[in-house]
Amino acid sequence: MDAAGTLYGQTTSGPHPGKAGGGGSVYALMPPAPGTTIWSETVLHTFPASYVSLRLGRGAVVSHNREYVYGMIESAVTGAFEVFQLHLVGTVWKYSVIYTVPSGLTSFSNLVIDSKTQSLFLCAVGTIRLWASPATLSTPGG
Domain boundaries, the chain: 7-103
pLDDT band at 71 (very low <50, low <70, confident <90, very high): confident
Least confident of 88-102, 105-119, 128-142: 128-142
SS3 96: strand
Find out whether 66 and 6 touch, Cβ atoms under 8 Å.
yes
Average pLDDT over residues 90-103: 85
Q: How far apart, in whole angstroms, are the C-alpha atoms of residue 141 and residue 65?
A: 21
Residue 98 CB burial class (10 angstroms; 0-12, 13-18, ≥19): middle
Q: Give the pTM.
A: 0.74
Find out whether 96 and 85 touch, Cβ atoms under 8 Å.
yes
